[in-house]
């Protein structure tokens, strides 16, 4: 931190809650449930924050809520932070921050690279499991949500000071590889493979999937000669067949290269680890032995090994034929991660259909002894088309991620060409990529992750409303003020001018800027990146009101001009930092 005037961390809510913590300590033994009732107001007419603790305290203390509210107000240390509180209705305490104090805090964060955001104490150690595709087949739109949400959570947690280890749990050992092996042996165009192995392997996989037919989306369930042959190839791979293992070794670098190309285009952080199912395969016999010795597993029908949760719910960990399952592999994964990374929490960013699997997995892990670690399924909904069904191509196939990225860039180029035709072609191409991919990411992240959402190019590319394109444009418009005036914003940061909050619009913007950390911490409580986009939308709307009502370059005095320029610069920096934490880039012109 380079500043020194502001409270560290600059979290308005926590600062006010601390004041209530002190005021309440002699009223009840446990103040925390009542401190939690201090929240930001929904309507600025009621102040900046509101304390709703008097009503629940009335039941405990046997007094009227308004009398309790008055008692709390009398005990509250206002210092130079709060104006005199107002008691409203049955006992609401409306709180308003002093504008002079707000101005000092805003001025102080100007020369802070972290914009007033402190590091959490105590910090935690996280392992985040996300993306996790089957590497032998093309990534599709279903992988977008896991990848984007996981990447955003990683960035936010790290920014707040947590240690995060990312692990891409690759499906590199299942039936999809049997499909690839079958296709290689029976359908390969050798010249095409030698020229472009990634493209030819993708073609072969799709052709095999088509031969399997409508059941191709669930390769393990398909029942026809091609599906049977693919499963036979998988079994040979698992039993150490030299030729199939040689081909597996040959395919993997090509599959990973294609995967990493798509990740690079999507702009996600490199993974710390990419341990596939094959990595854990040698550990599985010992896992089964261990859970049997711990008496949490039993022998089921036909000699299969199961973990029983209730009469109608069991998890299979070793099949009758001796083969292992996803549950076995996932238990081995927990064992390995705890031993190697020593996390406080392991997060799994995986879609809703896997909910029951994770309920069973986490219960099995707790029975196995992993009781002191947070195991959380970060579930998310589906991406749907305008018809309300899972998003598909026009011919009914799954939308592949490569196509989605290319189309995003094309859509971004249309926006840039329409709004900035004067830009050089090379710059327009660069901006189109930032705008298009940013729009896709923002459209996903601004949804409550537990909800399905309708994929619409028109909505996500819109220059108005809560879209990535609008947020990027707000940043560009902001930077344009400094270009027009020929002012280097760095000059405002090293020696920040005095801030004046003489209008409601300036004051509202100052509060939004100081709520940055508050928004980030709230987003992490529920692992909801949409908390950051909601904050961005509030900030952008507040800045728009400021921009329309508070002349900057034509301010009445030079001091007021400098104050408003600093508010503009801080807004741009918070916009840019927030978007970066969502994995979205900004540009200076668009």
Record the pTM: 0.93
- Would residue 27 count as lying in a domain? yes
Burial class (CB in 10 A: 0-12, 13-18, 19+), 215: middle
Predicted local distance difference test score (pLDDT) of residue 139: 83
The pLDDT > 70 percentage for the chain reads 96
Q: b/e string for 222-243 if b means 16 or more Cβ within 10 A? A: beeebbebbbebbebbbeeeee
The parent domain of residue 47 ranges over 12-97
Query: Is 50 exceeded by the pLDDT of residue 42?
Result: yes
Cα separation of 190 and 523, whole Å?
51
Nearest one of 152, 135, 134 to 440, comparing CA atoms = 152
- Would residue 49 count as lying in a domain? yes
Query: Is 90 exceeded by the pLDDT of residue 359?
Result: yes
Q: What is the mean pLDDT of the segment spanning 28-56?
A: 94
* Helix, coil or strand: residue 267: coil
In this prediction, residue 418 has a pLDDT band, given cuts at 50, 70 and 90, of very high
Predicted local distance difference test score (pLDDT) of residue 187: 97
Predicted local distance difference test score (pLDDT) of residue 432: 97
Between 8 and 105, where is the model more confident?
Answer: 105
In this prediction, residue 6 has a pLDDT band, given cuts at 50, 70 and 90, of very low
Query: Is 90 exceeded by the pLDDT of residue 241?
Result: yes
pLDDT averaged over the chain? Answer: 93
A 10 A CB-CB count for 512 gives 22
A 10 A CB-CB count for 302 gives 8
- Would residue 54 count as lying in a domain? yes
Cα separation of 301 and 298, whole Å?
10
Query: Is 80 exceeded by the pLDDT of residue 564?
Result: yes
pLDDT digits (tens, 9 = 90+) for 494-509: 899 999 999 999 999 9
Predicted local distance difference test score (pLDDT) of residue 8: 46
Cα separation of 384 and 550, whole Å?
42
- Would residue 93 count as lying in a domain? yes
Q: What is the mean pLDDT of the segment spanning 477-481?
A: 95
Whether the CB-CB separation of 115 and 92 falls below 8 Å is answered with no
Whether the CB-CB separation of 364 and 331 falls below 8 Å is answered with yes
Predicted local distance difference test score (pLDDT) of residue 492: 94
pLDDT digits (tens, 9 = 90+) for 368-416: 999 999 999 999 999 998 888 877 665 556 788 889 999 999 999 999 9
- Would residue 55 count as lying in a domain? yes
Whether the CB-CB separation of 293 and 305 falls below 8 Å is answered with no
Using alpha carbons, list the distances in angstroms from residue 180 to 59, 212, 275, 503.
67, 13, 20, 66
Domain count, the chain: 1
Predicted local distance difference test score (pLDDT) of residue 397: 64
pLDDT digits (tens, 9 = 90+) for 166-189: 999 999 988 888 999 999 999 999
Q: What is the mean pLDDT of the segment spanning 427-440?
A: 97
Predicted local distance difference test score (pLDDT) of residue 220: 58
In this prediction, residue 2 has a pLDDT band, given cuts at 50, 70 and 90, of very low
- Would residue 355 count as lying in a domain? no
Q: At what angle do helices 12-24 and 516-525 cross, to 10 degrees?
A: 80
Q: What is the mean pLDDT of the segment spanning 109-123?
A: 94
- Would residue 65 count as lying in a domain? yes
Predicted local distance difference test score (pLDDT) of residue 3: 36
Using alpha carbons, list the distances in angstroms from residue 3 to 7, 104, 267.
10, 11, 32
Q: b/e string for 36-56 if b means 16 or more Cβ within 10 A? A: ebbebeeeeebbbbbbbbbbe
Cα separation of 382 and 399, whole Å?
13
Query: Is 60 exceeded by the pLDDT of residue 100?
Result: yes
Predicted local distance difference test score (pLDDT) of residue 7: 41
Query: Is 80 exceeded by the pLDDT of residue 245?
Result: yes
- Would residue 25 count as lying in a domain? yes
Q: What is the mean pLDDT of the segment spanning 520-539?
A: 97
Q: What is the mean pLDDT of the segment spanning 424-452?
A: 96
The pLDDT > 90 percentage for the chain reads 83
Where residue 62 sits, what CATH number does that domain have?
3.30.1360.70
Predicted local distance difference test score (pLDDT) of residue 191: 97
A 10 A CB-CB count for 346 gives 24
């Amino acid at each position: 931190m380079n500043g020194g005037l502001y409270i560290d961390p600059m979290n308005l809510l926590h600062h006010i809650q601390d004041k209530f913590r002190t005021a309440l300590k002699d009223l009840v033994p446990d103040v925390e449930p009542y401190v939690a009732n201090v929240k930001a107001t929904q309507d600025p007419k009621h102040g900046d924050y509101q304390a709703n603790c008097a009503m629940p305290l009335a039941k405990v203390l046997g007094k009227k809520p308004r009398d309790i509210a008055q008692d709390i107000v009398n005990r509250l240390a206002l210092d130079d932070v709060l104006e005199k509180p107002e008691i409203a209705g049955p006992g609401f305490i409306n709180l308003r921050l002093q504008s002079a104090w707000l101005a000092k805090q805003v001025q102080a964060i100007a020369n802070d690279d972290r914009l007033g955001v402190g590091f959490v104490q105590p910090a935690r150690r996280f392992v985040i499991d996300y993306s996790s595709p089957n590497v032998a087949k093309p990534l599709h739109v279903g992988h977008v949500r896991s990848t984007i949400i996981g990447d955003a959570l990683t960035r936010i947690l790290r920014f707040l000071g947590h240690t995060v280890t990312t692990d891409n749990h690759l499906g590199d050992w299942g039936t999809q590889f049997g499909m690839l092996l079958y296709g290689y042996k029976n359908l390969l165009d050798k010249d095409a493979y030698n020229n472009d192995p990634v493209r030819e392997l993708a073609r072969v996989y799709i052709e095999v999937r088509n031969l399997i037919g409508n059941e191709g989306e669930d390769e393990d369930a398909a029942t026809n000669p091609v599906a049977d042959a693919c499963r036979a190839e998988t079994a040979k791979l698992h039993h150490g067949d030299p030729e199939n293992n040689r081909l597996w070794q040959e395919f993997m670098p090509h599959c990973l290269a294609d995967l990493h190309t798509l990740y690079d285009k999507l702009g996600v952080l490199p993974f710390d680890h990419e341990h596939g199912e094959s990595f854990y395969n040698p550990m599985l016999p010992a896992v089964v032995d261990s859970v049997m010795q711990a008496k949490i597993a039993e022998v089921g029908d036909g000699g299969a090994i199961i973990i029983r949760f209730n009469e109608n719910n069991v998890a299979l960990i070793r099949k009758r034929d001796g083969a292992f399952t996803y549950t076995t592999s996932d238990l081995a994964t927990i064992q390995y991660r705890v031993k190697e990374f020593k996390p406080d929490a392991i997060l799994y960013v995986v879609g809703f259909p896997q909910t029951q699997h994770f309920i069973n997995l986490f219960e099995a892990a707790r029975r196995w002894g992993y009781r002191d670690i947070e195991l959380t399924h970060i579930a998310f909904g589906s991406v749907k088309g305008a018809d309300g069904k899972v998003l598909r191509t026009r011919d009914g196939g799954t939308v592949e991620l490569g196509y989605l990225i290319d189309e995003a860039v094309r859509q971004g180029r249309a926006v840039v060409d329409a709004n900035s035709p004067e830009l050089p072609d090379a710059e327009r191409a660069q901006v189109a990529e930032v705008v298009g991919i940013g729009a896709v990411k923002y459209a996903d992240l601004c949804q409550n992750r537990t909800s399905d959402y309708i994929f619409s190019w028109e909505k996500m590319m819109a220059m108005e409303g809560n879209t990535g394109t609008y947020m990027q444009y707000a940043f560009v418009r902001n930077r344009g003020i400094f270009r027009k005036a020929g002012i280097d914003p760095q000059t405002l940061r090293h020696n920040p001018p005095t801030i004046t909050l003489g209008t409601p619009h300036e004051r509202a913007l100052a509060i939004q800027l100081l709520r940055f950390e508050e928004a980030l911490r709230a987003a992490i409580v529920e692992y909801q990146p949409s908390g950051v986009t909601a904050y961005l939308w509030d900030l952008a709307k507040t800045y728009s009101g400021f921009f329309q009502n508070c002349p900057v370059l034509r301010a009445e005095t030079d001091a007021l001009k400098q104050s408003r320029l600093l508010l503009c610069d801080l807004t741009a920096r918070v916009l840019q930092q927030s978007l970066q934490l969502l994995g979205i880039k900004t540009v200076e012109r668009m």
